[in-house]
Amino acid sequence: QQQVKQSPQSLIVQKGGISIINCAYENTAFDYFPWYQQFPGKGPALLIAIRPDVSEKKEGRFTISFNKSAKQFSLHIMDSQPGDSATYFCAASSSSGTYKYIFGTGTRLKVLA
Amino acid sequence: NAGVTQTPKFQVLKTGQSMTLQCAQDMNHEYMSWYRQDPGMGLRLIHYSVGAGITDQGEVPNGYNVSRSTTEDFPLRLLSAAPSQTSVYFCASSRPGQGLPYGYTFGSGTRLTVV
């Protein structure tokens, strides 16, 4: 019930391509879905987040797509750049509890120049 | 504005030793959490706090203690270090608004090695 499953584990994309990372959750009480970006040696940083009242949110080259019925959400990175090479984590939280975050296991993205 | 400050950045302990990982935030955030990050396992919640004087266990609390005497500080204590506690530890804080969760701000981490 508490898991968030993330795929793929690693991803290699050519510069200018689209990177897509997927997450699936089980707990229907989750109502906040953030994505975090982590560079080596640094802490994760909030990239973009969505709540289930919308199906898509876009911020620059980053888009979250949300499918409530399928209990899935994904991160799309358009025009991927070498500077986007990092590890990406999805997460889920619920406002009907203690706001604990459950994180996915992470996706290591490498964008080739 | 310092955000979330963790000390030390690196630490080597011998098995059986105890130590405290420090975490302080200056954003007046109510919620604070400790995570450990291990390869292939993502971020796992150790302990969390929803306010001063209130703490609770996360997914992997064994071998760790926490306390929250002030809003700003949330130290993590390793009682008797074991090699399985070799990991990178992150402290994070958040201030939910209008009954909704918001994004966490993470510290830069403490890399702990237990030998």
> Could you give the C-alpha distances from B95 to A7, A50, A78, in angstroms and in order?
29, 17, 30
pLDDT tens digits along A30-88: 988 999 999 999 999 999 999 888 899 999 999 999 999 999 999 999 999 999 999 99
Chain A residues with CB-CB distance to B54 below 8 A: none
**For residue A99, is pLDDT > 70?**
no
Q: Do residues B57 and B51 make contact, with C-beta atoms less than 8 angstroms apart? A: no
- Cα–Cα distance measured from residue A88 to residue A40, given in angstroms and rounded to the nearest whole number: 11
pLDDT tens digits along B11-64: 999 999 999 999 999 999 989 999 999 988 889 999 999 899 999 999 899 999
> Could you give the C-alpha distances from A56 to A24, A48, A73, B104, in angstroms and in order?
16, 11, 9, 21
**Cα distance from A105 to chain B (closest Cα, Å)?**
4
**Looking at residues B77-100, what average pLDDT do you find?**
88
Q: What is the pLDDT of residue B95?
A: 82
Q: What is the pLDDT of residue B102?
A: 73
Is A94 part of the contact surface with chain B (CB cutoff 8 Å)?
yes
Distance of CA A21 to the CA centre of its chain: 6
How would residue A17 be classed by pLDDT, with cut points 50, 70 and 90?
very high
Is B95 part of the contact surface with chain A (CB cutoff 8 Å)?
no
